[in-house]
Structure 1
Amino acid sequence: MNTDENIQTQPETWQPKKKSPFKRLLILALLIAGVLGILYAYQLPPFSPNYIETNNAYVRGKPVVVSPKVAGYVQKIMVQDYEWVEMGQPLVQIETDQYEMKVSQAKAGVLAQETSLQKIKQAQTSAVANVAVMDANIASARASLDNARVAYARMAELIKIDAVSRQAYDDASTNVKKAESALAQALAQKKNAEQEIGNVVVNEKSNLVAIDNAKAGLALAELELSYTTIKAPVSGRLGEITAKEGQLVAVGTNLMSVVPPEHWLIANVKETQIGQIAIGQPAQITVDALGGKQVLTGKVVQIAPATGSEFSANKTDPSTGNFIKVAQRVPVKIAFDDNQPNVKEISMGMSAVVKIEKIAK
Structure 2
Amino acid sequence: MSATLPVNDAGAATPARRSPARRLLMAAGVIALVAAAAYGVRWWTVGRFIQGTDDAYLQADSMTVAPKVSGYVAEVLVGDNQTVAVGQPLVRLDSRQYTAALEQSNATVAARRADILRGEAELAQQQASIGQARAQLDGAVSNEAHALAQVKRYEPLAVTGAETDERVADLRNTARQASATRAADAAALQVAERQVANLQAQIQQAHAQLDASLAAADQSKLDTDDTLVRSTIAGRVGDRTVRVGQYVQPGTRLMTIVPVQDVYLTANFKETQIGLMRVGQPATIRIDALPGADLHGTVDSFSPGTGSQFALLPAQNATGNFTKIVQRVPVKIRIAAGPETRKVLLPGLSVNVDVDTRSARDTAQRIERENGRG
TM-score interval w.r.t. the shorter chain? 0.7 to 0.9
- Structure 2 gap segments, 5+ residues each: 1-20, 362-374
Taking the aligned partners of 1:50 and 1:272, their CA distance within structure 2 comes to 12
Instruction: Give 1:170 deviation, angstroms.
Output: 1.6
Aligned 1:26-37 pairs, distance under 5 A: none
Count of residues in correspondence between the two structures: 330
Taking the aligned partners of 1:155 and 1:47, their CA distance within structure 2 comes to 132
Taking the aligned partners of 2:205 and 2:105, their CA distance within structure 1 comes to 18
Q: 3-state SS of the aligned residue for 2:358?
A: coil
C-alpha offsets along residues 211-269 of structure 1, whole Å, 9 cap, x if unaligned?
A: 11111111111110000000111111111211111111000111111111201111111
Q: Which residue of 2 aligns with 1:268?
A: 268
Q: 3-state SS of the aligned residue for 1:319?
A: coil
Aligned 1:77-96 pairs, distance under 5 A: 77-96=76-95
> 2:68 matched to 1:69?
yes
Taking the aligned partners of 1:87 and 1:233, their CA distance within structure 2 comes to 5
Taking the aligned partners of 1:272 and 1:49, their CA distance within structure 2 comes to 13
Aligned 1:206-221 pairs, distance under 5 A: 206-221=205-220
Taking the aligned partners of 2:43 and 2:119, their CA distance within structure 1 comes to 93
> Under a length normalisation based on structure 1, what TM-score does the superposition of the two structures give?
0.85
Taking the aligned partners of 1:186 and 1:153, their CA distance within structure 2 comes to 24
C-alpha offsets along residues 33-65 of structure 1, whole Å, 9 cap, x if unaligned?
A: 8xx99xx9xx99799544111111111110011
Whether the 8 Å contact between 1:278 and 1:359 is mirrored in structure 2 is no
Q: Which residue of 2 aligns with 1:10?
A: none
Instruction: Give 1:147 deviation, angstroms.
Output: 1.6
Instruction: Give 1:197 deviation, angstroms.
Output: 1.4
Q: Which residue of 1 aligns with 2:171?
A: 172
> Under a length normalisation based on structure 2, what TM-score does the superposition of the two structures give?
0.82
RMSD across aligned C-alpha pairs, in angstroms? 2.5
Q: Which residue of 1 aligns with 2:114?
A: 115
Taking the aligned partners of 1:48 and 1:338, their CA distance within structure 2 comes to 25
Q: Which residue of 1 aligns with 2:278?
A: 278
Taking the aligned partners of 2:207 and 2:317, their CA distance within structure 1 comes to 67
Percent identity of equivalent pairs: 31
Instruction: Give 1:341 deviation, angstroms.
Output: 3.8
Q: Which residue of 2 aligns with 1:234?
A: 233
Instruction: Give 1:327 deviation, angstroms.
Output: 1.2
Q: Which residue of 1 aligns with 2:154?
A: 155
C-alpha offsets along residues 161-213 of structure 1, whole Å, 9 cap, x if unaligned?
A: 11111111122122111111111110100110111111111101110111111
Whether the 8 Å contact between 2:46 and 2:358 is mirrored in structure 1 is no
> 2:218 matched to 1:243?
no
> 2:315 matched to 1:313?
no
Instruction: Give the direction of change, closer, same or farther, for the CA distance of 1:48–1:87 in structure 2 (3 Å limit).
Output: closer
> 2:208 matched to 1:202?
no
Whether the 8 Å contact between 2:148 and 2:175 is mirrored in structure 1 is yes
Whether the 8 Å contact between 2:295 and 2:337 is mirrored in structure 1 is no
Whether the 8 Å contact between 1:296 and 1:340 is mirrored in structure 2 is no
Counterpart of 2:93, as a letter, is I
Taking the aligned partners of 1:88 and 1:340, their CA distance within structure 2 comes to 22
Deviates more, 1:325-334 or 1:186-195: 325-334
Instruction: Give 1:307 deviation, angstroms.
Output: 1.2
> 2:260 matched to 1:258?
no
Counterpart of 1:175, as a letter, is T
Q: Which residue of 2 aligns with 1:224?
A: 223
Instruction: Give 1:121 deviation, angstroms.
Output: 2.0
